[in-house]
Amino acid sequence: MKKKLYQISNKLINANNIKIAILFIPLTIIIVNEIIAHKFVLNDFYDTSILISFLIVFICEGIANLILGIVGKITEDDVKLETNYKSLANKYEVEKSKMVIFKNKEQEVVYIPVVTLMQRNINDEVWDINIELDKNKSKYILPKQIADNSSKIFTAHANSVVFNNRNIRLNDLAICDGKIVLTYGFTTYFDSLLTNRAMDYQFISGRTVREIYEPGPFLSTLSESKLSNHLGFNGFVELSDGNIIFVKRGNKLSIAKGLWQQSVGASLKTKYCINDKHELTIKGISKAICMEINDELKLGLSYEKEQFEHTIFAFYRDLVEGGKPQFLFYYKMKECNKEQFITNFKNEMKKKKQKKENAKKQNIDGSNFAFFKLEELKQCNFSENYMITRNNDKYRMMPSSIASIIMLLNNADK
């Protein structure tokens, strides 16, 4: 009951409502007294100039709040994350030999601020991945400077719908006896919002998380990094007719609002990937990939029938988010084509439960889709932040998405 009272109070008690009450309550008392005394004459209380003055004040405040809200939503991504991607790549000069590169339509070499860790051809032998808990750093702790300014930094996400999750933190990635060894701990999504996803937000005296903890010209190793570094993944889902799904992101997501991305972009959530002993396993990663595909695209896949971990073909770090680790997968559907996918997605999203869940938690990145076959992607031109098709259609994207496409094209059979 008290919690409900607090929520109602927090929602209703604000400066505007108090101003209305200050004006409305005394006026109501006067009118009631006049009515009781049978002396109420409306014209005695009607002063056009005063009413117009108050009306102008309220309208001006409303317009100001509306403009601030629109500007905040449009500029939020640029305020909290660097959008000059060429400058960002140059900032980490030492890492350029490991960055994703390509030639643009002018045949100039373009460096994407994404550092590759491991890649393989999508049809090569799958990786043998071992997973170990880092017992010395099993739980991430925010650096003191960030913890002390967390309230300030969190305002950078004021125009995003965010909710907390326990996530997997990748503490290290190594190769041992031909096997990939992932060493992990635990972090939270809120801690990542305070670090990786607010890298360039000036929170005190012009200082930013990037300038304090990742100033360049090299990137801290995963084991040395002071950031939350929750493990995320991007992925391509190819339908049975060869069409690869691309999604336009919604305007309430924490980053890349209104931009296009590959089929799936998600964090590795513990609710999907840990077992009953609270341990991360390769089967847990497989389940997480499957469940995120189902959440985002409503495909109804079964993680028990397929080995989704075998679809992973790259590990990399996104410099836009301070070197946050990601892996990349490519999954081919056997039965569902483009028309069937669109019909199924629309039917699923019409369900009351889906509408309620998405309104509350933004459990899908977007509902507008584009479709490209692998051969069509090969004919596209790219820059650090957009893809142009052979028909000159322009798709704005984050560098991580551009890098994902380039890595796919580089690792797909010719």
Quote the pLDDT of residue 186.
97
CATH architecture for the domain at 85-411: Alpha-Beta Complex (3.90)
Q: In the numeric block, which tokens belong to residue 381?
A: 């031109």
Say how many C-beta atoms besides its own lie within 10 A of residue 15's C-beta: 8
Q: What is the CA radius of gyration of the chain?
A: 26
Give me the chain's average pLDDT, please. Answer: 86
169-194 residue pLDDT tens: 999 999 998 899 999 999 999 999 99
Query: Residues 111, 382: contact at Cβ < 8 Å?
Result: no
Q: Residue 224 pLDDT > 90, yes or no?
A: yes
Q: Residue 9 pLDDT > 60, yes or no?
A: no
Give the strand order in the sheet containing 129-133.
129-133, 179-188, 166-176
Q: Identify the band that residue 158 occupies on the pLDDT scale cut at 50, 70 and 90.
A: confident
Every domain of the chain and the residues it spans: 2-78, 85-411
Burial (Cβ within 10 Å: 0-12, 13-18, ≥19) of residue 51: exposed
Estimate the crossing angle of helix 338-349 against helix 352-361, to 10 degrees.
Answer: 80
327-377 residue pLDDT tens: 999 999 998 999 999 999 999 888 866 655 655 555 577 889 999 999 999
Quote the pLDDT of residue 326.
97
Beta bridge partners of 110: 102
Q: Residue 8 pLDDT > 70, yes or no?
A: no
Q: Residue 225 pLDDT > 90, yes or no?
A: yes
Q: Which of 51-55, 58-62, 291-295 has the lowest average pLDDT?
A: 51-55
Quote the pLDDT of residue 349.
87
Q: Which residue has the tokens 């019409």?
A: 350
The SS3 of residue 324 is strand
Amino acid symbol at 334: K
Nearest to 100 by CA among 263, 109, 108, 91: 109
Amino acid symbol at 82: E
Q: What is the mean pLDDT of residues 77-87?
A: 90
Please tell me whether the peptide bond between 217 and the residue prior to it is cis, using omega within 30 degrees of 0. Answer: yes
33-55 residue pLDDT tens: 766 776 656 565 555 566 566 66
Q: What is the mean pLDDT of residues 59-82?
A: 73
Q: Which residue has the tokens 């030639």?
A: 103
Quote the pLDDT of residue 363.
59
Beta bridge partners of 207: 204
Q: Which helix (H) or strand (E) segment is 369 a member of?
A: strand 368-372
Quote the pLDDT of residue 5.
56
Q: Identify the band that residue 6 occupies on the pLDDT scale cut at 50, 70 and 90.
A: very low
Quote the pLDDT of residue 27.
62
The region, left, alpha or beta by phi > 0 then psi within -120 to 50, assigned to residue 83 is: alpha
Burial 302-324 (b: 16+ CB within 10 A, else e): ebeeeebbebbbbbbbbbbbbbb
Q: What percent of the chain has pLDDT over 70?
A: 80
Q: What is the DSSP letter of 274?
A: B
Q: Identify the band that residue 217 occupies on the pLDDT scale cut at 50, 70 and 90.
A: very high
In whole angstroms, what is the distance from residue 315 CA to residue 309 CA? 13
